[in-house]
Amino acid sequence: MRKIVGAREETRNVQSPEDLWRDTFRRYIRANPFLSFREVHRKTIQDFFKALGISEDVDGSIDAAFDEYRSSSAYPEVSAVLRDVEQEVPVAVVSNMDTTALLGALQRNGLTFTFIITSDEEQRYKPDPSLFQRAVRYLGLPAANVLHVGSSYAEDIVGASLTGMPALLMQRPGAPEEPRGEAQGTVHDLQQVNDFIRNSWKES
């Protein structure tokens, strides 16, 4: 979307393209009845193009977005930290991502998890607590003993807190600032999450 908008100097809107995309995307994520991840993208892209006066191939843009998801690369520390953590605790993924696209990205990066919970199977998106409750059931642990880490306050921190999970906000360098709210703290990479877990064990 940035490439498309950047190529058109005539696009003007009260909101920045990033804010417009985020607000529109979240509106469709919260739609009732449930919309598939692909359909959320379709409606968001259509509204985005209309608001900015852009005439572009919607289906082609959706395909390009999903190709980006599948081909995304994990941050450098992720693989080694996960191998270390998984020796002692189970690790699950709770994601709003399309299941097929997510599995493609994980396979490409050589990542595996104890469980993967997506909005597709639950027919709900974060922050709906049902996704987090499913993770608690799958892991067989009290919610208070499950740490959730996510990059969105609105989806991750709120959703985890509704289930009684402690949560850390992942704030990668250069990413837009998120409010901290009820998060247990803010971390900047997965190694800091590992350190947080081990320090928690020492304290208990």
State the DSSP string of 72-105. Answer: ----TTHHHHHHHHHTTS--EEEE-S-HHHHHHH
DSSP 114-134: SEEEEHHHHT--TT-HHHHHH
Closest CA to 48 of 20, 12, 14: 20
Closest CA to 120 of 7, 3, 37, 6: 37
Q: What is the pLDDT of residues 106-146, one digit of tens each?
A: 999 999 999 999 999 899 999 999 999 999 999 999 999 99
Find the mean pLDDT for residues 153-169: 94
Q: What is the pLDDT of residues 32-55, one digit of tens each?
A: 999 999 999 999 999 999 998 888
Is pLDDT larger for residue 179 or for residue 79? 79
User: Is the pLDDT confidence value at 13 over 80?
Assistant: no
- CA-based R_g, the chain, Å: 18
CA 86-89-91 angle, 5° bins: 65
- DSSP class of residue 187 equals E
